[in-house]
Copies of this chain bind each other. A is one copy, B any other.
């Protein structure tokens, strides 16, 4: 056989592994969130990771680069000459939900409330902290056009954050309605096209192209501020790198209509809504949007969520598929970023109403609304404020295996501890006491249990407090040095479990 070179032991570019507490802390956070979702009547759904490219609808498989954006491959045809199917890893949890609802709608309750948790994959250029596989946690209500469903999503989100340990003052849920902005934009488009010179510069774009450009610009409000948006809506501006970004070509007066909308937020939802009513007074679609916001605000107020979820016209959400209310959740506490600057933590969840996703499959519009939590960002936030993990990820009590013949006895101690609900293990590698204690340190073990011949003959075990020991932080090489340490004690073998329980609870 030919000799093959050794394979490299590496994750593919942009992928990573999660170890120990990284896994358990995320699981714990997601459990807290999904318990809230469950209480709200949402059912879990786990779709397959693989979808047909056709169902994902992201692109057509006959383009030059089928892997643009998603990881895709061609399925072997079932029979000779059968058309080839392209498969791909899902890039979010919403597209599969639309497919599931279209496929199973006759057997699902309507409205269908579901939550989903799992990895999604993006075939994008990886960067620092930017991976090609990451978790999403979504909740959606499919089949209800009632804005009470949108209000419910916002209340549930507020409860979910609270369940993870984030204080009410530390999170702001902000709500807008795409219909209001669309109303303003359609009025504006009427003005723009009426004013346009025939084949005028950039003013002959169709509505889709034009409104998408303006929406993209407005969505940059968080980054570039109100003056930046004004420049980008009109004649353009230089970005941080010095590159010039073309403007959308609005006149200053036209831009002011958009800016007035963006700046119509007030300290209460009721005041904001009054403000919005003025702005859209003569735009039908806009008024409908404001009415919806008012209903949502009333429902939130009635349930006591008025202060936790606010109407805010500056929320845009870039995604083109939203058709009504849109939501965004921001953590408002400050953290120190990589550059040592204090800044607000920022957005950790977003969503809104999208009434057209199921229609792709069935031809019938199905109203739907939902929220997606950025799992990794929220977990990072919990870590930043010391709320990730309940300590159950702590290391096990490690029983040193100093004499090979005594293994059954070590295992017996271990079984006693486990039966008492204490996480415990026997060292199963090779090496002297020093090496075994180093192993225990690496395991973050709170206690090492030591029984040599001498102890066994006396019916004793030695318990070494490794937390205290770490403070003393002496390098231990010999038995003699070790027994001089104060962080250890000798107890009767029969007291093993009770003594360790006492040490773990910190009562000694």
Contact = CB atoms under 8 A, between A and B. Distances in A.
A111 interface: yes
A426 interface: yes
B55 A423 contact: no
B24 A55 contact: no
- Number of copies of this chain that the complex holds: 2
B6 A39 contact: no
Interface in A295-323: 298-299, 302-304
A477 to B, nearest CB: 19
Contacts of A148: 401, 407, 411, 426, 428
Contact of A10 (B103, B143, B425): B103
A135 to B, nearest CB: 10
Contacts of A360: 6-7
Secondary structure at chain A's binding surface: helix, strand, loop or mixed? mixed
B11 A51 contact: yes
A211 to B, nearest CB: 16
Given A396-B41, A439-B110, A87 B12 contact: yes
Contacts of A242: none
B110 A41 contact: no
Contact of A141 (B43, B113, B428): B428
A72 interface: yes
A61 to B, nearest CB: 12
A407 B148 CA distance: 8
Given A17-B48, A428-B149, A411 B299 contact: yes
Interface stretch (A73-81, A271-279, A338-346, A464-472): A73-81
Interface in A418-433: 418, 421-429
Contacts of A304: 415
Given A55-B9, A360-B6, A429 B143 contact: yes
Nearest to A439: B109
Contact of A109 (B71, B99, B424, B443): B443
A12 B152 contact: no
Contact of A9 (B27, B65, B361): B361
A315 B198 CA distance: 84
B425 A7 contact: no
Nearest to A75: B12
Contact of A303 (B6, B8, B111, B411): B411
Contact of A16 (B16, B48, B87, B121): B48
Given A7-B55, A13-B78, A119 B40 contact: no
Given A49-B119, A55-B8, A428 B111 contact: yes
A300 to B, nearest CB: 9
Contacts of A102: 9
A506 interface: no
A244 interface: no
B39 A423 contact: yes
B408 A302 contact: yes
A453 interface: no
B429 A50 contact: no
B40 A425 contact: yes
B361 A418 contact: no
A23 B45 contact: yes
Nearest to A417: B39
Given A143-B429, A148-B407, A361 B439 contact: no
Given A17-B100, A143-B429, A304-B415, 15 more contacts: A7-B54, A8-B52, A9-B55, A10-B52, A10-B55, A12-B50, A13-B85, A19-B43, A38-B423, A39-B422, A40-B423, A49-B133, A67-B73, A109-B439, A152-B426
12 contacts: A7-B55, A38-B392, A39-B421, A39-B423, A40-B418, A41-B423, A49-B89, A110-B439, A111-B429, A151-B411, A152-B411, A302-B412
Interface of A: 6-13, 15-20, 22-24, 27, 38-41, 43-52, 54-55, 57, 65, 67, 71-73, 75-76, 78, 85, 87, 89, 99-100, 102-104, 109-111, 113, 119, 121, 132-133, 141, 143-144, 146, 148-149, 151-152, 155, 159, 298-299, 302-304, 360-363, 392, 396, 398, 401, 407-408, 411-412, 415, 418, 421-429, 439, 442-443
